[in-house]
Amino acid sequence: MVGGVELALTPRLTRMVSATTPGQPLLALHVFRPPREATVSLDGGRLVRVEAGDVSGAVRACGGPWRVAGDWWDASFEHEGYDVELDDGGVYLVAYDRARACWQLDGVYA
């Protein structure tokens, strides 16, 4: 099980969660379909590094897990999503797909 991830807000992640504050910019999630395969390094249950093609870096801040499960026609899904800010300043949605036992990059916030 992947869990125990601490939430550490950087200025960019703070803008994501304070979008209802007047004058604050809003970040939108651009979803990758299909999701990109990812390699995620953990240290004591904390996400420390993400690599997925041209996206690669150390995790500066992380929020989650956001657990989602369900069935879509005959395909069931269950994943734990994390909002991560990497050391390049990018903010991404990374998920652990429990059904397939693998990590994926689901999207980028912009």
Q: What is the mean pLDDT of residues 23-31?
A: 75
Q: How many whole angstroms from its chain centre is CA 76?
A: 20
Res 76: pLDDT: 81
Contact 13, 93 (CB under 8 A): no
Q: Does residue 9 have a pLDDT over 90?
A: no
Res 15: pLDDT: 52
The pairs formed by 20-23 with CB atoms below 8 angstroms and a separation of 24 or more are none
Q: Parallel, antiparallel, or unpaired for β 102-109 and 29-43?
A: antiparallel
Q: Does residue 83 have a pLDDT over 90?
A: yes
Res 72: pLDDT: 73
